[in-house]
Structure 1
Amino acid sequence: MKKTLCALIASASLMLAGPTRAGVLGFDDVNTAGDFASLSELNPYAGLNWSADWYAGDNSIGGYANAAHSGANFVVNGFGAQDMSISSATGFNFAGAWFAAPAGAGDKAGWINIRAYDALNRLIGRTGNVAIGGSYLWVAGGFSNVASLTIARDTGWYAMDDFTMTDATAVPVPPTPLVLGIGLLAMGLGRRLNRHG
């Protein structure tokens, strides 16, 4: 009984430490080498499928010095594409992303509009038209269990960075000290039970 209890506690702490698809996508792991790189060629990138006109770039590209919110990389709607999409077979929770109109683009987007759809392609939320400019602006989504997002704009180009999401099916990963504490507690309890048993 005592060994079973210790095994259960140890197993629970390992399950809590399991991986999840979560966080902020800064696109800094995409090799752009001073030019634009197709993000769809990396599908699924970060567990998501990116439509064909998403391109990753870095702030060394002429006219795009303002295009990265953090780090050096960002993504743009290539060739000024109208409706860009991001999808996932497993669903995700979309918190939001940072948007700006790149300084060097000839035709700059004046607004973006994000629409979220579920697995049955039903609209589950939208931001409405959100005005963007040369400085980054956080556009909040707050959409849960999203199968796909569509990002529309009025005209021209926009840059997006720090795309923030969590996996809709994952249990949130606890902080490392909590997992470590549970493991130490299990070890201590096991020693104590072995001394008294």
Structure 2
Amino acid sequence: MIKTINILIGLLFTMNINATVLNFEDIKLDTPYVTLASIDQNEYAGFTWEHNWAVGNVSNNNYADAALSGSQYLSNFRADKNLTISANTPFDFDGVWIATPSLTNVAKWVSISAFDQYDQMIGTTGQVAVNQEYSWVAGIFDNVSYLTFTSDAFWYVLDDFTYNSASTSVPAPAPFAFLAFGLFGLTILKKKKVTH
């Protein structure tokens, strides 16, 4: 029982409750889709979006089911197989929802790789299979300067891009708190054994 309580308290210290979710609903569209660069939004939400990222609307016939939340989504315009999202200040990437639109030529997989300010790879998701059902692709990459999205070919869509400000401060107290709660639990167990 005490062990379970200690684990739960430790998890509370490590939970990320400050995540920001981009669902692209605040971008005004006059057409069914538009590239972020063409509407001078390549600096959208503090990120620089490579020129072939396009925000679309479900009013586009082949993309009627392309949005996970709301009616807008992000896609790889012109079926670009290699796209980048970067930031001037490091960020922690939690993940993104990925699917394919209702077309015949769609991506079979997408890979997300995270890099730091020195162009060193932080990590990669590897090739994640995608289809018309949205799948959460967790990145859990810290202190990211840019992300690369690579696909085998053709089209895919993203929604609810989730990130946080980078954790560049002193290491989180969670490991120390977890250790303290564990020692406290052992002390209680030892006292119980002595009295019995």
In structure 2, distance between residues paired with 1:169 and 1:137: 26
Which residue does 1:17 correspond to in 2? none
CA distance in 1, matches of 2:83, 2:156: 11
Determine helix, strand or coil for the equivalent of 2:32.
Answer: coil
Q: Distance in 2 between matches of 1:149 and 1:84?
A: 8
| 1:46-61 map, 5 Å | 46-61=45-60
Alpha-carbon distance between aligned partners in 2 of 1:33 and 1:57, rounded to the nearest angstrom: 10
Offset from partner CA, 1:119-163 (integer Å, 9 cap, x none): 000000000000000110100000000000000001100000000
Among 22, 28, 32, which residue is 1:35 paired with?
32
Gap runs ≥5 in structure 2: 1-17, 170-196
The Cα shift of 1:43 comes to 2.4
SS of residue matched to 1:46: helix
Go from structure 1 to structure 2 and tell me whether the alpha carbon gap of 1:61 and 1:170 turns closer, same or farther (over 3 Å shift). Answer: farther
Q: TM-score with structure 1 length normalisation?
A: 0.73
Decide whether the 8 Å contact of 2:93 with 2:140 is kept in 1.
yes
Q: Structure 1 residue 69 and structure 2 residue 68: aligned?
A: yes
Which residue in the other structure is 2:183 paired with?
none
Question: 1 CA distance for matches of 2:97 and 2:20?
Answer: 14
Question: In structure 2, what is the Cα distance between the partners aligned to 1:126 and 1:169?
Answer: 19
Contact 1:56 1:74 in 2 (8 A): yes
**Counterpart of 2:95 in structure 1: which amino acid?**
G
- 2:66 and 2:117 mapped to 1: Cα distance? 32
Deviating beyond 6 angstroms after TM superposition, the runs of 4 or more aligned structure 1 residues are none
User: Aligned residue for 2:172?
Assistant: none
Equivalent position of 1:93 in the other structure: 92
**% identical equivalent positions:** 39
Would you say the 8 A contact 2:55–2:72 is kept in 1? Answer: yes
Q: How does 1:45-194 map to 2 (within 5 A)?
A: 45-103=44-102, 105-168=103-166
Deviations 1:12-35 (A, max 9, x none): xxxxxxxxx951000001112342
Q: SS state of the match for residue 64, structure 2?
A: coil
In the alignment, the residues of structure 2 paired with residue 139 and residue 157 of structure 1 have an alpha-carbon distance, to the nearest angstrom, of: 17
Residues 1:23 and 2:20 aligned together = yes
Residue 167 of structure 1 aligns with an amino acid whose one-letter code is S
Deviation at 1:56, TM superposition (A): 0.1
**Do 1:90 and 1:169's aligned partners in 2 also have CA atoms closer than 8 Å?**
no
